[in-house]
Structure 1
Amino acid sequence: MFTRIALFLATNLAVLFLASIVMSLLGVSPDQMAGLLVLGAMFGFGGSLVSLLTSKWMAKRATGAHVITQPRSEAERWLVDTVRRQAQAAGIGMPEVAIYDAPEINAFATGANRNNALVAVSTGLLRNMSADEAEAVLGHEIAHVANGDMVTMALLQGVLNTFVIVLARVVGGIVDGYLSGNREGEGRGMAYFAIVLVLEMVFGLFATMIAMWFSRRREFRADAGGAQLAGRHKMIAALEKLALNHGHSTLPNQIAAFGIAGGMGEGLRRLFLSHPPLAERIAALRASAAA
């Protein structure tokens, strides 16, 4: 995981360095650029890292999930035993296992560390899925943890946030200077801040598209991981059961991207989906079996 983080940060530092060169060509001084990068990184990465570090606590609080410390039923014992077996097979530490009350079929995994994660399932999943289907869903969530998806998403979001903050201010300064006739000696007025606000919203939309594109790709990888841990036919059956449920999710926004359900939308809305359509996920699994 640390190698993944180091390579990810190194790549994005190189991108930021290239951006600083481009900004200098646009007339942004090195001191201004350094200040903007520090500001952008503080706010961009700060929020993402705080969200990552508090993700387990927030998920429990938002869903009212009950962590199984001592199984009270056969269903709870099966959940804990299945997660333990899959975690060992995936080479990660034993996650906390929890159940939250919700009518839809869903589950999620979160946590800042692959050896100290949380895997939670809904009561609707326990009521409506067979043991084989539920095993596949758990495998999917364990694969998310093993792949380090929560950390990677936080780092990606931090980089995107930084670019949004920096680019909005650089471009805003250029536009404001053009509109004001590049008059020297005048501070930034309300027009500059209004331009920056609009640009942050516009650039933020593009940043969201990039983050959601990556989120959709990681769902395919987690499906493949779930198929490896539980069996391909079980993973396909679980996704087909989710399709009958129309992929409906009532998870709070901050953890919805980490649930297994989701992926409904057409046209431009598709660009903002955290999950691919279930039909595409099922087709991908069947295609990999035929390959």
Structure 2
Amino acid sequence: MGYAKTAMLMAAMTALFLGVGYLLAGTGGIAVAFAVAVAMNAFSWWNSDKMVLRMHNAQPISAGDRRGLHDMVADLARNAGLPMPAVYLIDTPQPNAFATGRNPANAAVAVTAGLLQSLSREEVAAVVAHELAHIRNHDTAIMTVTATFAGAISMLANFALFFGGSRERLGIVGTIAMMILAPLAAALVQMAISRSREYEADRIGAEICGNPMWLASALERIQQGAARIDNDAAERHPATAHMFIINPLHAHGRDKLFSTHPATENRIAALRQMAPGRKAPSPAAMSSTVPTVKRGKRHGPWS
């Protein structure tokens, strides 16, 4: 569905941003809004990966780690035709993962301790493959830009009462309405872009790891874990929720107002359609197509 719809949504986000600038200060406001957009996106382009990893206190994993995670990522990256990304571990019991970085040459994959403790090697490989698909599709850069736009729109809208031009054009009621509706519209566009990219990453991730049912099984387990285990860092930084393979937020009522991810059951159904008639693999029938993935227990810790 992919790139055409994403381009349209990005255009809508840009138009909304410039429109807010015009309502605040006329044609001059468009120029100011454009300048702010360029500055914020330049900063995000170069620093977003470091910022996000720091927010979640992610720790780097080096080659030869005892879990074999680094080697697994390296093998899957070769399967995907990608440079080796940096690998990070997040010390939270919630099973989850995300990718970040401005391009494939400057990318990182971060997984949580909970993911390694609750999923099999095959499922972990499928999750990593999904994140590598985001990197290959340049989704990490797209989502950084949309998040920056959404934040900038909210910032401009909050300044609306201080701009005389907006009050003259819209009146006090219209200005207040814009303060509410503009960030809401930006959030909706951001969520639509995020959802559109998840299905594509699922499809390509399944191809990279070699078995769509591994990813289907992983999504089901992560959904169950994320629904009952808090991710404190994600709750403190909800703007990063769209980056995770499954929405990490649930602890606060506001978390459920909007969803940055498609329904997990719909994603699983799409993966099953890629492998009609296939069931989740049993230990005796597990494929050996993914390097470093060893036969063993179907579920449970693999560290």
Return the TM-score normalized by structure 1.
0.73
SS at match of 1:257: helix
| Aligned: 1:79 with 2:69 | yes
1:114, CA displacement in angstroms?
Answer: 1.6
1:237, CA displacement in angstroms?
Answer: 1.3
Q: 1:232 aligns with which of 205, 212, 217?
A: 212
Q: Deviations over 1:78-112 (max 9, x none)?
A: 21122112222222221001111101111111111
| Aligned: 1:258 with 2:251 | no
Q: Deviations over 1:151-184 (max 9, x none)?
A: 1123344556677759x97x984763575xxxxx
How many angstroms apart in 2 are the aligned matches of 1:240 and 1:172? 52
How many angstroms apart in 2 are the aligned matches of 1:178 and 1:54? 37
| Aligned: 1:281 with 2:281 | no
Q: Residue 72 of structure 2 aligns to which amino acid in structure 1? A: T
Give the aligned length. 259
How many angstroms apart in 2 are the aligned matches of 1:8 and 1:216? 14
Uncovered stretches (5+) of structure 2, i.e. residues with no partner:
278-303
How many angstroms apart in 2 are the aligned matches of 1:243 and 1:261? 6
Query: 1:242 is matched with which residue?
Result: 222
1:146, CA displacement in angstroms?
Answer: 0.8
Query: 1:101 is matched with which residue?
Result: 91
How many angstroms apart in 1 are the aligned matches of 2:91 and 2:203? 27
Distance 1:83 1:249, change over 3 A: farther
C-alpha contact (below 8 Å) 1:52/1:150 kept by paired residues: no
Query: 1:136 is matched with which residue?
Result: 126
Q: Deviations over 1:124-168 (max 9, x none)?
A: 1111111001000101111111111121123344556677759x9
How many angstroms apart in 2 are the aligned matches of 1:233 and 1:245? 18
Max Rg structure? 1
Runs ≥4 in structure 1, deviation > 6 angstroms? Answer: 161-164, 268-271
Q: Deviations over 1:205-227 (max 9, x none)?
A: 01101110110121111111221
Uncovered stretches (5+) of structure 1, i.e. residues with no partner:
180-190
Return the TM-score normalized by structure 2.
0.71
How many angstroms apart in 2 are the aligned matches of 1:59 and 1:264? 16
